[in-house]
Structure 1
Amino acid sequence: MLRVHHSMESAAPASCEQTEKAKKYDRQLRLWGDHGQSLLEIGHVCLINASATGTETLKSLVLPGLGAVTIIDDAKVAHQDTGNNFFVDLASIGRPRGEVALRLLLELNPEVRGTFVDQPLQEILDNQPEFFTPFTCVIATCLPESTLLTLSKVLWDAKIPLVVVRSYGMIGYIRIQIEEHTVIESHPDNEIPDLRLDRPFSALEKYMDSLDLDAMDDKEHSHVPYVVILYKFLQKWNQEHGAPPKNYKEKKLFIQLVKTGMREKESGENEENFDEAVKAVNTSLLPTSIPSGVQTLLNEAANITPSPTTKPFWIMARALHEFVSSEGRGVLPVRGTIPDMTADSEKYIKIQSLYRDQAAQDADWVLRRVQEHSQQLGPRKVMPSLENDVKNFCKNAHALRVIKGKPIVEEYKGSINLSEIGAHLENPESDLVWYVMLRAVDQFHSEFRAYPGYFQDQVETDIVRLKVCVNRLLADWGCGPIVKDDFIHEMCRYGASEVHSVAAYIGGCAAQEVIKIITAQYVPINNTHIYNAIAATSGTFML
């Protein structure tokens, strides 16, 4: 049995809970919304080892309101901990490190529950691997290679995400192990509006055709939404050219066509709505199509035979594929949102409602197909927010993402992306060399039971030994001995120490990745991230 020393928790007062919570978490609610916050608040994360890096990672999860944390750590607070770990102090030397760190971490947010276990991790893995089943995610730091590989296999088999986070001197490292991670709200940068001007739906087409720009008085003409302007002039263009403008030259000619419709204002200035139309040409006249990554995902969904264990994501993706193949006529559901425009309220609200109503119709079609598939599967857990989930799925269908990872144990046992490594190692500026060095120091530790440079009187000997480990590792990968001695000396100089500034930075980055996993929003790294504090550079690699 596990030795659980104590559990700490405190509940927030019921009165004014929503108002106070909204005030407390205002900034993060803008990032992942109420639904994301709710997932975070029911999340339970396990941290293995309350080192400087581990506690900094957990700090950035406790502050935004993670539901519960469990720390596994059988170490006692040592003098070196007090020099780089803000969650222990001199008075706690000799006491259980996880217990001390947990108490101080929970002071940051009384709403978070916490538990401390001082049993050795290897003992848990050997005797009670099911201990990890309740966790939403596991964070591991400061683990020897053999223990990490055992943990990797246990969590991979249990389908529990693992985030390995490490600071080693001036180098930071994050490795995410997750079998499959589906993302509906990926929040892409520079999102293109979904206006469908090249293939308008019937209600939009009917309304646009009912408007006559030439018959409008000057005031109305200068306040018609730019989407109407683009639609009208696109009809004129298509009559002459047979298809929307495709390249830079054609779009430049189209802009000149739009400008012919401008009326000069009494002030001599251009009409603002026409200026907006000109600026929107490049983004608003793009062909309505399905992004290649989403199409690949839909093709995969079409080949899935739904079962009671199929994730809701894939049930919705299958229904979405059926929509595209039939009702959607080859395109995704309408998103239902439009950008702000210079326009009179009546016309803008009318157009906005047309897009919103069409989006609701499309989502309703997908919802009916999801319900049909679910009923065919027999008894399964009811999704209380199914309608909202499908609406959200359809709204974000253009940016759906699925990440499929591989276990760390495979990477360490030889199944590694050698082309990625070889290409980067040929570049002397690539940060991937630090991945090689971290792998080499782990092999060094496995062989000599200490990290290179840990004992100052053995540094010169360790340099020679570490060079052997590096060259042996590169030889196993089919690479020549191309790592400079400077890197080997640098790793020996670190002696496996954790520098607090590096630990704080990489811990904050790792916490962001954990939040992405828990909320299923934004796209986590796939699969390795290296931070080089010497040059203030970083890189993400798929190994």
Structure 2
Amino acid sequence: MSSSVPSPETDKSRKYDRQIRLWGDHGQSLLENSQICLVNANALGTEILKGLVLPGIGSFTIIDHNLVTDEDIGCNFFLEPSSLGQSRAKHCTKFLQELNPDVNGESIDDNIDTIIANNPEFFKNFSVVVSCGLNEKSLIKLSNLLWELNIPFMSCQSVGFLGSARIQMKEHCVIETHPDNKHQDLRLEEAFQTLEEHVSNIKLGPKVPWLIILYKNLEVYRKKHDRKIPNTYKEKSELRDIIRSSMTADEENFEEAIRSVNSSFGGGKVNSEVQKILNDSCCINLNKNSSPFWIMARGLKDFIEKDGKGYLPLPGTIPDMTADTSLYINLQNIYRAKAIQDADAVFRRVQQLLKELNKSSDWISEKDVRLFCREAAYISVTRGSKISDEYEKGSKTSMISDELENPDSLISHYVVLRAMERFQTEHGYIPGEVNVETDPARIKSLATRLVNDWGISSQLNDDLFHEICRYGGAEIHSISSFLGGCCAHEIIKLVTRQYKPFDNTIIYDGIKSQSETFKF
């Protein structure tokens, strides 16, 4: 008897099983269709790609005109002694592809400035572009180009024990933000009709789901308090006492109801972040260029104002409970049916909007709308700023000034790294690479000029300038590996449009094992 051969889909599902549990099949599909461009295959760059190749991006392209040096071999795990003097892009591509044969890799032995000048359209098909260790002049050029093309861009540095990463993106909309503390939307304060009818026919007992126990006892409390919901500790304690008084024995489902008093109210209300999205001009003033996110947001807004009577669509999920299986499943089905009803109402509105915009009715699927409705309480929109504006015009100078007064802040590391990029542009080499004795004074002079241009008079610590020159641009693999993993995580967030990426700069100090985010 011949054994059956698993289909490729089954093999892939098994291969990526653990990560699919994080971002689902739809997230994995987006990842597998992504194309990532890396500029400069240093240790940090290859560690970033490692963290993307292993989970299965579609393809990557490395742009790097440098040849492999002894220093590269010492800190880059994707090079070997035989690579010495050869193309760094080609050899890193070869070894990275060995990690995952499902991922395509390409190398280009060319200078980034040449590609920007002669073939700017080259970048338009990439999902994300990442650069590592670019000098200031090249970084500004690449930033301006990718901003015009609306391609997300991440600029990274790893020098000695210091590291940084900066995300540039015009707008990033996330439906599945996966909040750490997701609030249960049980709609007990404004129960829908089918829930009311279902609960009214059930008598309390040891096998009844705690949600029903809580609802019935909440009604007892509300009759005594003019239909108000308990908010304060004292009021919630009174509700707990009412639940206890309805117990006939030590019953676990009643105890669950008592424990759930703090977390079961307030669901379905529009929080300030979601309200800001619904009031956004992109939501109110749709046009032919509007993305599916904004069209669904408008459908959601119309639903809340009309069908939902001020409430979000019901997500339709309930927590696990100690209860009779049939009673629990019946309750679950009631919530699920209401969620489908709400999502259908939003979908009808979305279909009408697509018709008004002269777009195909299947451009946004019913499945897309149901996911949007399920996650509606936590949707997020992040609007970014251009890196070149940060470099050419200066930004957040008051924040930098305040942070420089804080001895525990890592903002001084940001200033030093910015000065290093300026040094590299003006002198043609990295500080400490040629003259360790005179370079600290030179880079300090550049840093002082930078902060003065920002209108800041704070004094900078000499130790940091001596430290950056002591590194001489060298990478420490453990630092690059840690930072590379962090950057890969953020790129996956950008590609899958799940979880919120940091906004928009992270600085890492490996000596203190301390990281800090800033927004520029």
Q: Which of the five TM-score ranges fits, normalised by the shorter chain?
A: over 0.9
CA deviations on 1:40-88 (whole Å, 9 max, x unpaired) are 0010011111110000000110000000111111111111100000111
Bigger shift: 134-143 or 281-290? 281-290
The structure 2 residue matched to 1:316, chosen from 290, 293, 296, is 296
1:58 pairs with 2:49 = yes
Instruction: State which of 470, 473, 481 in structure 1 corresponds to 2:458.
Output: 481
CA distance in 1, matches of 2:186, 2:97: 48
The answer as to whether partners of 2:158 and 2:480 remain within 8 angstroms in 1 is yes
Alignment check: 8 A CA contact 1:138 1:163 kept: yes
- Match for residue 404 of structure 1 among 363, 378, 383: 383
Match of residue 371 from structure 2: 392
Structure 1 CA distance for aligned equivalents of residues 23 and 359 of structure 2: 31
Match of 1:227 in 2: 211
Whether the aligned pair in 1 keeps the contact of 2:304 and 2:310 (CA below 8 Å) is: yes
SS of 2:195 mapped into structure 1 = helix
1:300 counterpart = 2:272: no
2:413 equivalent to 1:422: no
- Asked if residue 125 in structure 1 is aligned to residue 116 in structure 2, the reply is yes
Contact 1:301 1:318 in 2 (8 A): no
User: Which of 122, 133, 138 is the matching residue for 1:147?
Assistant: 138
Alignment of structure 1 residues 150-161 onto 2, 5 Å: 150-161=141-152
* TM-score (norm. length: structure 1): 0.93
Superposed CA offset, 1:11-39 (max 9, x none): xxx95212211111111011001000000
Tell me which residue corresponds to 1:172: 163
Residue 103 of structure 1, CA deviation: 0.5
Match of 1:7 in 2: none
- Residue pair 1:198, 1:288 contacting (<8 A) in 2 also: no
CA distance in 2, matches of 1:19, 1:263: 51
1:254 to 239, 249, 255: 239
Matched residues in 1 for 2:101 and 2:77: separation?
A: 18
Q: Distance in 1 between matches of 2:414 and 2:361?
A: 43
* d(CA) in 1 for partners of 2:466, 2:509: 16
For residues 68 and 473 of structure 2, the distance between their equivalents in structure 1, rounded to whole angstroms, comes to: 17
**Residue 354, structure 1, aligned to residue 334, structure 2:** yes
454 and 475 in structure 1: CA distance in 2 versus 1, 3 angstrom threshold: same
Q: Report the alpha carbon displacement of residue 379 of structure 1 after superposing the two structures with TM.
A: 4.3
Question: Is the aligned partner of 1:469 residue 2:449?
Answer: no
Whole-Å Cα distance in 2 between the matches of residues 506 and 419 of structure 1?
28
Q: Could you tell me whether the CA contact under 8 Å between 1:44 and 1:135 is conserved in 2? A: yes
Cα separation, partners in 2 of 1:146 and 1:302, compared to 1, 3 Å:
closer
Out of 39, 46, 56, the residue aligned to residue 48 of structure 1 is: 39
3-state SS of 1:175 partner: strand
**Does residue 80 of structure 2 align to residue 89 of structure 1?**
yes
1:486-539, CA deviations, whole angstroms, 9 ceiling, x for partnerless residues?
111111111111110111111111111110010000000110011110100101
Q: What CA distance in whole angstroms lies between the structure 2 residues aligned with 1:361 and 1:286?
A: 21
CA distance in 1, matches of 2:144, 2:76: 30
Q: Residue 280 in 1 paired to residue 260 in 2?
A: yes
Q: Distance in 1 between matches of 2:16 and 2:494?
A: 19
Secondary structure of the corresponding residue to residue 382 of structure 2: strand
Deviation of 1:419 after TM superposition, in Å, equals 2.7
Task: Kindly provide the amino acid, as one letter, of the partner of residue 37 in structure 1.
Answer: Q
C-alpha displacement of 1:245: 0.5
Give how far 1:170 is off.
0.5
> Out of 481, 484, 504, which is 1:504 matched to?
481
Alignment CA distance shift 1:74-1:363 (3 Å): same
C-alpha distance in structure 2 between counterparts of 1:481 and 1:235, whole Å? 61
Q: Does the residue aligned with 2:304 lie in a helix, a strand or coil?
A: helix
Q: Is the 8 A contact 1:302 1:321 kept in 2?
A: no
CA–CA separation in structure 1 for the residues paired with 2:114 and 2:360: 36
Structure 2 distance, partners of 1:191, 1:97, is 46
Question: Identity of aligned pairs, percent?
Answer: 45
Match of 2:500 in 1: 523
In 2, the alpha carbon distance for the partners of 1:231 and 1:417 equals: 50
Deviation at 1:420, TM superposition (A): 2.2
Does structure 1 conserve the Cα–Cα contact (< 8 Å) formed by 2:394 and 2:454?
Answer: no
Partner of 2:313: 333
Give the ranges of 4+ consecutive aligned residues of structure 1 lying more than 6 Å apart after TM superposition: none
Amino acid at match of 2:504: N
Structure 1 counterpart of 2:97, which letter?
L
Q: Aligned partner of 2:233: which letter?
A: Y
The 10-residue stretch of structure 1 (416-425 or 402-411) with the greater mean CA deviation from structure 2? 416-425
Letter matched to residue 291 of structure 1: N
Once residues 493 and 294 of structure 1 are traced to their aligned partners in structure 2, the CA distance between those partners, rounded to angstroms, is 48
- Counterpart Cα distance in 1 of 2:394 and 2:171: 18
Partner amino acid, structure 1, of 2:482 = Y
1:403 Cα offset (Å): 0.5
Q: Secondary structure at the match of 2:436?
A: helix
Q: Which residue identity does 2:385 align to in structure 1?
A: K
The alignment covers a number of residue pairs equal to 515
* Pairwise CA distance, 1:303: 5.3
Match of 2:511 in 1: 534
- C-alpha distance in structure 1 between counterparts of 2:6 and 2:86, whole Å: 38
Quick check: 2:168–2:386 contact (8 Å CA) kept in 1? yes
Q: Per-residue displacement from partner, 1:193-213 (whole Å, max 9, x unpaired)?
A: 110001111111111122232
Secondary structure class of the residue paired with 1:353: helix
The alpha-carbon distance between structure 1 residues 286 and 371, as it changes in their structure 2 partners (threshold 3 A), is closer
* SS of corresponding position for 1:282: coil
Partner amino acid, structure 1, of 2:48? T
Could you tell me how far apart the structure 2 residues matched to 1:535 and 1:387 are?
Answer: 50
Relative to the length of structure 2, the TM-score reads: 0.97
CA distance in 1, matches of 2:405, 2:236: 42
Confirm whether residue 80 of structure 1 aligns to residue 81 of structure 2: no
- The answer to whether residue 498 in structure 2 is matched with residue 513 in structure 1 is no
Provide structure 2 residue ranges, at least 5 long, that are not aligned to the other structure: none
Alpha-carbon offset, residue 381 of structure 1? 8.7
Tell me whether 1:237 sits opposite 2:218 in the alignment.
no
Task: State the shift of 1:304 in Å.
Answer: 3.2
State the one-letter code of the partner of 2:365: L
**Residues 278 and 80 of structure 1: is their aligned pair in 2 closer, same or farther, counting only changes over 3 Å?**
same
Q: Secondary structure at the match of 1:310?
A: coil
